[in-house]
Amino acid sequence: MFPKMMNAILKEHVTPKWLHIRYNRHDFHFVLSKDEIDLMETLPNVDDFTVELCYKILRYEVEIDEPTCKWGNIPHETEVKLSDDIQRILNATNDIESFQKQIIGIDYIKIYVEKIEKLITRMDTYYPESAFLELYRYIRNLDSKSHSHFSLIQQPTKGWGNFPDQTDVTIADDVERIRILRNEIAHRHNTNIEDKLFEEYFAGFRDICHRIDQYFSGGTGYEQSIIDCKTFSMDIQMKNKYENALKELENMKMRFESKPIRFYWGDTFETSLNSLRIMLKDQKLQGKTKIHVQIVFQKESDIERHVAILNSLKHEINEGLTGIEFIVGSQGSIVLHVTLSIDIIETDELLKSSLTLFLRKILDNTDNSSAEIVDVVLILDEEMTTELQSKMTYENKFHYSAPMYLDFNIEAELFETDDKMEEQSFNNNRRNIRSSPIANYIQPPHFCQLRKQLDISSQTKEGQSIEDCIKIGNKLVFTDSEYNRLIICSVDGTDFHCIPLPHSPRYITEISTKTVAVSCSERCILIINIYLCFISRTINITGHCSEISFNDKNMYVIIRRILQVINKSGNIKRTIPLPSDSILYITVHRDKLVCIDRTAIYCCYLDGTLVWKFENERYQNLQRLTTDDEGNVYVTDFLNNSVVVVFDDGQHCRQILSESDGLYRPSGIHYDKKENVVLVNNRLNGKAFLFDVMKKDRGGT
């Protein structure tokens, strides 16, 4: 019924001929999914158009009044313009699809049905010949069993949020068991597990799945899946998956013990601690008096209660402490947010004694006070790590950074004898060995070699519209505007999973090694932890939000065609003039802004001053861009099915990828500067590619 309603509205505002012309010209302001392209190919027939396709055309292509609530939001019941009801129809369609995946109550259904009937009554006033209300009542009376499509279950025997007794075996009891057991396993700080507990977990989940199989008349096969998990042998693909996961873990070591507490921290904390001490010694920390640290320790039960107790006793805990202050506790395991005085990190002894005194006061206020062993982990606050890295001098970084390699051109005759090599190596004239000058070391790309091809569609089992992509360490992240989600996988093409989002994602940028910022068309920016898979913060903004980049603690966001510099709290610091009124994508590289419209690439200083502009008539549908460490610019062309690189001088270019490399309607692109790897994704067919970028000096291009 909803597609019929949207079709009636669409036919009122556009003609099939007009649609056909726009489609043939590729002149839409939105992205068509693969299924929608198939529907457009059937023009002039529009009767099979989906709710989503009609909505896109009405919203982006037709001069129809914007809803009172603005596009993409939920209209208030008093907002009853036609455009408000267009938004309601889309929302209702998405709601009904989501009902199949969640538990809803009968009272909710009654209220929901009343809202739908009001909507349909209004639609009948717009289009009386369509008789939508009559159609609706007919559908409802077709089969009294239609309500069985809703997943209605009673509350668990002991209510939601409580672990069921062994004798509680309803479907709701098992839903609650799954949730609690999942959290119990996921929040373990120690991966070691005794054989007895291991067997208990498997036996418990097997019993749950056996009952669920019976509940669904044996059609799910969940019990057999659990059996397979326990007995399944590890193949090469699974072995690689877990080896890659282990590589991402920090080298966590026990640093010291003060019974009953054992203190652990990883390489990042150790490196930062050494760097702080060097900077403190060199008097490089003027004005910095405190650093922020998280202290994590595991509680098996009553986490919420213990966190509440600790927060209520903040004054008592801090009383008598010097150099360390308890700020707040949060849940996970138990996470203590504290500040440390710079003075107490100067020596190991002072740091150990201060931490021990603090943790003992914490234990006195929890049930762990009599525990034999308590393991705690220290983590430097993410913002503090970023700030520290930006303040480290070249000399500081030399002690802790990766090896530095020097590139030389060596004449072949030098290898004739050891004596000749030694002589020439120490020859002050350096006639036969010449160090490669910086101009030759900054090399433009020569060609790309495929490292990995990924088929996202085969993993997600759905179509998608991948707008943008990013590579962070061992993870690949894609924004799917079709299903409002992030799609995440490992670089080897394993471990696919999704993070559902409340809004349609557009562009993505890296905030840290674990966090990304995603701009959404619904006037907000989502800060998302891709490792814990949750939205840590939503930044609401004043207008339509699109392009986004992050550099030096600030986000660069285009809002209403104005480039605004925003800090992590969402406050606008300044604006930057743009070189074009139709900028589609931006990135900030060091002290320069690089951006594109459909046909040109612009490089500007961060005050908006234009450095260079690049145009080539061959490339007329530019989509996304990225830069390598030397400032070369990589751009995808949607219709040309290519990736072109423009050298850092803005004068020369080379096409390095084409349709023969698998590109078809390429969209997102991201350059990993650490590995010299470029990630490219096709927008519509679910294909993505990792290419190693090979380089050659300018003299050979």
Are 424 and 465 part of one and the same domain? no
- The tens digit of pLDDT for each residue in 516-536 reads 999 987 788 999 999 888 888
Note whether 261 and 284 are same-domain residues: yes
Whether 280 and 391 map to the same domain: the answer is: yes
Same domain flag for 484 and 606: yes
Of the residues 120, 149, 178, the one at which a domain ends: 149
CB 33 within 8 A of CB 463: yes
Residue 246 lies in a domain: no
Residue 404 has pLDDT above 70, yes or no: no
The neighbouring-strand residues paired with 565 are 556, 574
Classify each residue of 520-554 as buried b or exposed e, where b means 16 or more C-beta atoms within 10 Å of its C-beta.
bbbbbbbbbbbeeeeeeeebebeebbbbbbbbeeb
* Per-residue confidence (pLDDT) for residue 430, from 0 to 100: 36
Are residues 532 and 609 both part of a single domain?
Answer: yes
DSSP string, 537-579: EEEE-SS-EEEEEEETTEEEEEETTEEEEEETTS-EEEEE--S
Higher pLDDT among residues 78 and 414, named by residue: 78
Domain assignment of residue 388, yes or no? yes
- pLDDT, averaged across the chain: 77
pLDDT greater than 90 at residue 277:
no
699, 457 contact by CB (below 8 A) = no
| 507, 628: one domain | yes
Of 378, 399, 420, which residue is a domain's last?
399
CATH code for the domain of 615 = 2.120.10.30
Which range is least confidently modeled, 12-21, 98-107, 634-643?
98-107
Closest CA to 637 of 122, 210, 26: 26
- List the one residue out of 36, 82, 74, 73 whose CA is nearest residue 56: 36
570 is a domain residue: yes
Q: Quote the tokens at residue 235.
A: 């193949």
pLDDT at 7 over 70: yes
- How many structural domains is the chain composed of? 4
User: What's the rounded Cα separation, in Å, for the pair 56 and 37?
Assistant: 13
Tokens of 85: 């009801």
Q: Tell me, yes or no, whether 181 lies in a domain.
A: no
Residue 173 domain-assigned (yes or no): no
The answer for residues whose C-beta is within 8 angstroms of residue 230's C-beta and 6 or more apart is: 202
Question: Does position 411 have pLDDT exceeding 80, yes or no?
Answer: no
Tell me if 323 is assigned to some domain. Answer: yes
Interacting residues of 562 by C-beta distance below 8 A, sequence separation 6+: 575, 578
Q: Show the beta-strand stretches assigned E in 433-501.
A: 433-435, 445-455, 466-472, 475-480, 485-490, 497-500
> Does the structure show a pLDDT above 50 at 415?
no
Residue 204 lies in a domain: no
Q: What is the DSSP string of 66-131?
A: PPTT-TTSPPPTT---HHHHHHHHHHHHHHHHHHTTS---HHHHHHHHHHHHHHHHHHHHH-GGG-
Q: Which domain holds residue 376?
A: 253-399
> Phi and psi dihedrals of 538, rounded to 5?
-115, 125
Q: Do 395 and 412 lie in a common domain?
A: no
Cα separation, 377 vs 295, in Å, equals 6
Do 393 and 417 belong together in one domain?
Answer: no
Last residue of a domain, one of 132, 149, 166: 149
Give the Cα-Cα-Cα angle 633, 445, 402 (nearest 5 degrees). 90
Q: Which amino acid is at 304?
A: E
* 688 part of a folded domain: yes
pLDDT of residue 552: 84
- The pLDDT tens digits of the residues spanning 136-187 come to 555 555 433 444 334 456 778 888 777 889 899 998 888 888 878 876 776 5
Domain identity same for 16 and 60: yes
pLDDT value for 464? 77
Co-location of 596 and 483 in the same domain: yes
Q: Which residues, in sequence order, are CB contacts of 421 under 8 Å at separation 6+?
A: 414, 415
- pTM beyond 0.75, yes or no: no
What does the pLDDT look like over 199-251, one tens digit per residue? Answer: 888 889 999 998 988 887 766 788 888 888 777 666 666 666 666 655 555 56
The percent of residues above 90 in pLDDT, for the chain, comes to 21
- pLDDT surpasses 60 at 403: no
Q: Which 3 state secondary structure label does DSSP give 193?
A: coil
- When pLDDT is cut at 50, 70 and 90, the band that residue 98 belongs to is low
Distance CA 484, CA 157 (A): 35
Mean per-residue pLDDT for 43-60?
A: 88
One domain, residues 557 and 682: yes
User: d(Cα 29, Cα 11) in Å, to the nearest integer?
Assistant: 19
503 and 380 both lie in a single domain: no
